[in-house]
């Protein structure tokens, strides 16, 4: 009989919690009841407000710390208790690598390769991130962006099955960022599972199969970019003609569920039914032979969805599971 069951996920966490300090008011819960599943070959972007718990979550998944509560499996292994078995199969790019400044780029690669099972040749790793021409330069002489590229090269040295990237393009110029994005896409196309955190919403939109937004230690919304922004209103903006003659008593058509604001002759409509309300407005304008000046209609953006999450207060006294599961 053919086994049609879905393969085990690459990363799975259930009821994950991380507390700093003692119980009570003197401690702090950075991660509070987080559920997370990332399937093999998927790229998940983890977004969040400052202090949302992204880095604490990543450290737990990477096995750098033990959770206060909850269960984690990465490639079927507990990343903290079975770290020795898991470490050769994953790559980790921390927010800062902390490599010795006196070593050259090549020496750093060789030292790291000596600790990495099945490491690819160091020149190959440096070529991947565009650092081969800087191979004889000391780490302390690299720019901030070049150090981030070195961090990425070392994370990819062992040809990992799962890669954790914490703010991978911070400090990069636009050209280097674009090159990093190309490399991350190639990793995903080759079947590597990628979990990254980023403050760049454009980066999440460009790279992620799915994204999750954290706030106060929980994932409060998740899905594809389209799914995340679908619950937020679109916007229609236009300008009415100057009031005179037949326009004087003209009223806008009814738009149920929409929020309409006017500043002078400029009208803004925030609506959960963008296409229907735009059709209504265009039909109304055509019937009355009105030109809607500066007409602009657009769906909600990821930035708007993110800001809506950031503005939402959360009851930190009530633990709640996070609504994220495997992509379908």
Q: Each residue of 25-69: pLDDT tens digit? A: 788 899 999 999 999 999 999 999 888 899 999 999 999 999 999
Task: Reply yes or no on whether the pLDDT at 141 is more than 70.
Answer: yes
What is the average pLDDT across 92-103? 86
Q: What's the pLDDT at 199?
A: 87
List all residues 6 or more positions away from 213 whose beta carbon is below 8 Å from its beta carbon.
47, 48, 219, 220, 221, 222, 228, 305, 306, 309
Alpha carbon distance 266, 238 (integer Å): 6
Instruction: Give the β-pairing of 234-239 and 266-271.
Output: antiparallel
What is the average pLDDT across 68-95? 94
Q: What's the pLDDT at 264?
A: 87
Tokens of 15: 């009821």
- Percentage of the chain modeled with pLDDT above 90: 63
State the pLDDT confidence band at 96, using cuts at 50, 70 and 90. Answer: confident
What is the average pLDDT across 289-299? 92
What is the average pLDDT across 247-264? 85
- Percentage of the chain modeled with pLDDT above 70: 91
Instruction: Give the β-pairing of 193-197 and 162-166.
Output: parallel
Task: Reply yes or no on whether the pLDDT at 168 is more than 60.
Answer: yes
Q: What's the pLDDT at 245?
A: 53
Residue ranges of alpha helices (H) inside 190-295 are 201-207, 225-230, 274-287
Task: Reply yes or no on whether the pLDDT at 97 is more than 90.
Answer: no
List all residues 6 or more positions away from 297 whose beta carbon is below 8 Å from its beta carbon.
234, 235, 236, 237, 274, 278
Q: State pLDDT tens for residues 174-233.
A: 988 998 999 999 999 999 999 999 989 999 999 999 999 999 999 998 999 989 988 789
Q: What's the pLDDT at 319?
A: 46
Alpha carbon distance 203, 183 (integer Å): 13
Q: How far is CA 53 from CA 27, 34, 164, 218, in A?
A: 15, 10, 15, 8
List all residues 6 or more positions away from 1 whose beta carbon is below 8 Å from its beta carbon.
none
What is the average pLDDT across 164-181? 89
Task: Reply yes or no on whether the pLDDT at 246 is more than 70.
Answer: no
Q: What's the pLDDT at 72?
A: 97
Q: What's the pLDDT at 4?
A: 56
What is the average pLDDT across 272-288? 94
State the pLDDT confidence band at 315, using cuts at 50, 70 and 90. Answer: low
Smallest CA-to-CA distance from 15 within 259, 219, 304 is with: 219
Q: What phi-psi label fits residue 96: left (phi over 0), alpha (psi between -120 and 50 degrees) or beta? A: beta
Collapsing DSSP states into helix, strand and coil, what is residue 94?
coil
Alpha carbon distance 72, 206 (integer Å): 28
Q: What's the pLDDT at 2?
A: 52
């Amino acid at each position: 009989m053919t086994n049609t069951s879905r393969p085990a996920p690459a990363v799975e966490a259930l009821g994950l919690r991380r507390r700093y300090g003692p119980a009570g008011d003197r401690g702090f819960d950075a991660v509070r009841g987080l559920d997370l599943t990332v399937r093999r070959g998927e790229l998940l972007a983890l977004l969040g407000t400052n202090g949302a718990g992204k880095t604490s979550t990543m450290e737990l998944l990477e096995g750098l710390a033990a959770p206060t509560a909850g269960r984690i499996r990465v490639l079927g292994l507990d990343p903290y208790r079975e770290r020795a078995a898991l470490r050769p199969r994953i790559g980790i790019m921390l927010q800062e690598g902390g490599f010795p400044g006196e070593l050259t780029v090549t020496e750093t690669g060789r030292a790291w390769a000596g600790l990495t099972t099945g490491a690819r040749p160091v020149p190959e790793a440096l070529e991947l991130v565009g650092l081969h021409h800087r191979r004889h330069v000391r780490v302390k002489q690299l720019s901030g962006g070049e150090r981030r590229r070195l961090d990425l090269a070392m994370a990819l040295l062992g040809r990992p099955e799962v890669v954790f990237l914490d703010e991978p393009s911070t400090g990069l110029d636009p050209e280097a960022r674009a090159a990093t994005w190309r490399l991350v896409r190639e990793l995903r196309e080759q079947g590597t599972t990628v979990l990254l955190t980023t403050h760049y919403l454009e980066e999440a939109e460009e790279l992620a199969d799915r994204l999750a937004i954290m706030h106060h230690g929980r994932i409060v919304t998740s899905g594809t970019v389209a799914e995340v922004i679908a619950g937020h209103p679109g916007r229609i903006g236009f300008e009415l003609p100057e009031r005179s003659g037949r326009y004087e008593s003209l009223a806008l058509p009814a738009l149920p569920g929409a929020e309409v604001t006017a500043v002078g002759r400029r009208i803004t409509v925030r609506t959960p039914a963008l296409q229907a309300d735009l059709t209504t407005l265009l039909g109304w304008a055509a019937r009355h032979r009105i030109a809607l000046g500066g007409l602009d209609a657009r769906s909600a953006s990821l930035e708007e969805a993110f800001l809506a999450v950031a503005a939402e207060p959360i009851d930190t006294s009530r633990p709640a599971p996070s609504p994220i599961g495997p992509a379908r």
